[in-house]
Amino acid sequence: MQYVNLHNHTVYSDGKNTVRENVEAAIRLGMGAIGFSDHSYTAIDERYCMMPDQYEVYEREIRAIAAEYEDQIPVYLGIELDYFSDMPTFATDYIIASVHYIVKDGAVHAIDSSPEKQMRCFEESFGGDRLAMARAYYENLTAHVRRTKPTLVGHFDVITKFSLIPEDDARYRDLARDALTEVVKHCPYVEINTGAISRGWRTTPYPQSYLLSHLKEIGGRPVLGADSHSIQHLTFGYDEAVELLRSYGFPSIFAFGKGGYEEVKI
Ligand SMILES: [Zn+2]
Ligand SMILES: [Zn+2]
């Protein structure tokens, strides 16, 4: 199977490699297509994102490289749009909708950057209530997907990244399941994101496996995404993710192509 990955970061935001290095690595790997999804500008935290004046250069470089490599691999222009960002000021081929922050009473918490920061979030802003923090995360995500109508829902339950959420608690699972139902109503394409595996935080992709049967039941369409920040991880964990999806009875995955998503039997 020729793998596609729309979720890639480059030196334009917090990735290690250039656009060209990524495209050349994707060709070496025999990938079916590659897309770029650097972080949208977030005024609340400028550390990991593109700055607004980079948008034009980003767009121009990716379009130029797409034309240059057109005979070898399709290259798509996208963005990973944070909930706290404005819509991009340039035309993209796709948008990944993701939540990376919780803002409460003026405090900005980057919930997926380190365990310490996530701990500070629930201790300082939610009186130690981890479930309340998870609820706030899913409220942001469902509002984002409803408003943005993205091409893809990014790392659905990234709030579980550091294993600080009581995932065995039925109240948490209900919360996550309800959010998944709501999200899929507005965007059926949900990323099976292997990014936390390549960074050593988790051993399975997002959404966590207890949500996969629900995803299937409600007609969610799985799309593989590596959330790669270096060319070593362009299709990281894809074989295992496909195996996992098969074991939950998914007959196919969805791969982005020129005319939108194509169904690929697995
Ligand atoms: Zn993200
Ligand atoms: Zn990402």
Under a CB-based contact definition with an 8 Å cutoff, are residues 36 and 66 in contact?
Answer: no
Q: Give residue 154 CA to ligand 1 midpoint distance, Å.
A: 7
Determine the residue type at 140. Answer: N
pLDDT of residue 240: 97
From the CA of 100, the nearest ligand is 1
Q: In the prediction, which pLDDT does 255 show?
A: 98
pLDDT digits (tens, 9 = 90+) for 118-161: 999 999 999 999 999 999 999 999 999 999 999 999 999 999 99
Residue with tokens 């893809």: 152
Placement of tokens 């963005």 in the chain: 79
Please list, residue by residue across 56-95, b when 16 or more beta carbons sit within 10 angstroms of its beta carbon and e when fewer do: eebbebbeebbeebeeebbbbbbbbbbbbbeebeeebbbb
CA–centroid distance, residue 12 to ligand 2 (Å): 12
> Minimum-distance ligand to the CA of 35?
2
The structure's pTM equals: 0.97
Are residues 27 and 70 in contact, defined by beta-carbon separation less than 8 angstroms?
no
How far, in Å, is the centroid of ligand 2 from the Cα of 9?
Answer: 6
C-alpha to C-alpha distance for 65 and 50, rounded to whole angstroms? 19
Provide the 3-class DSSP secondary structure of residue 89: coil
- Ligand 1 centre to CA of 19 (Å) is 18
Distance 65 CA to ligand 2 centre (A): 21
- The region, left, alpha or beta by phi > 0 then psi within -120 to 50, assigned to residue 128 is left
Q: How many CA within 13 A on the CB side of residue 5?
A: 30
Q: How far is the CA of 266 from the centre of ligand 2 (A)?
A: 25
- Cα 175–Cα 179–Cα 184 angle in degrees, nearest 5: 150
How close is the Cα of 98 to the center of ligand 1, in Å? 6
CA 103 to chain centre: 20
Strand positions, DSSP E, 12-110 = 33-36, 75-82, 94-98, 101-104, 107-110
* The pLDDT value given to residue 86: 97
Low-confidence residues of the chain: pLDDT under 50? none
The tokens for 70 are 């057109």
Q: Tens of pLDDT along 34-51?
A: 999 999 999 999 999 999
| Nearest ligand, measured from the Cα of 161 | 1
Q: What pLDDT, on the 0 to 100 scale, is given for residue 252?
A: 98
Q: CA 202 → CA 18, 140, 157, 208, 238, distances in Å?
A: 26, 23, 12, 9, 15
CA–CA distance, 122 with 260 (Å, rounded to integer): 39
What's the gap in Å between 97 CA and the centre of ligand 1? 8
Centre of ligand 2 from the C-alpha of residue 158, in Å:
11
- pLDDT of amino acid 34: 98
Contacts of 33 (CB under 8 A, 6+ apart): 4, 73, 74, 75, 76, 255, 256, 257
pLDDT computed for residue 101 by the predictor: 98
Query: Of 114, 217, 124, whose CA–CA distance to 164 is shortest?
Result: 114
